């Protein structure tokens, strides 16, 4: 699962990059395009960092960054959809992928928190 999501988040960044390349000749869109490239590539980079976390808390904290970056990517895709009439189907596809990645990350955070809380309560019970 870890490698699948690493590949999926990397592919998301690549797909966003090529989409943004199609828009790069429009200087008025450049701020949105640049931020979208940064946030979408940060999704995969931060997920890889989460996979190398030193502890459960570190893992959760790093996944929270992934969540923020995925949400930011979706936001800039929504802005581009609002301000341009081009590539509507590509924007929809990328937005759907961003939302799916975001849902996976949120579910992973919930699972990791539940496990952490369970382990902490088990540890506390043993100490009593």
- d(C-alpha 127, C-alpha 42), whole Å: 40
User: DSSP class of residue 85?
Assistant: -
**Residues 70-126: tens digit of each pLDDT:** 999 999 999 999 998 778 999 999 999 999 999 999 999 999 999 888 776 654 554
- Spell out the long-range contacts of 92-97 with Cβ–Cβ below 8 A and sequence spacing 24 or more: 94/12, 94/15, 94/16, 94/19, 97/12, 97/15
List the domains of the chain with CATH numbers.
Answer: 2-127 (1.20.1440.60)
**Residues 47-63: tens digit of each pLDDT:** 999 999 999 999 999 99
pTM of the model: 0.89
């Amino acid at each position: 699962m870890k490698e699948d999501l690493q590949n999926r988040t990397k592919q998301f960044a690549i797909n966003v990059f090529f989409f943004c390349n199609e828009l790069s000749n429009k200087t008025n869109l450049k701020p949105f395009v640049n931020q979208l490239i940064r946030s979408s590539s940060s999704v995969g980079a931060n997920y890889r960092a989460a996979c190398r976390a030193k502890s459960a808390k570190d893992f959760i904290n790093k996944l929270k960054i992934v969540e923020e970056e995925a949400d930011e990517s979706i936001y800039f895709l929504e802005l581009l959809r609002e301000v341009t009439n081009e590539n509507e189907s590509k924007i929809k596809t990328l937005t759907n992928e961003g939302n799916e990645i975001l849902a996976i990350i949120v579910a992973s955070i919930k699972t990791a928190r539940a496990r952490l809380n369970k382990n902490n309560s088990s540890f506390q019970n043993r100490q009593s």
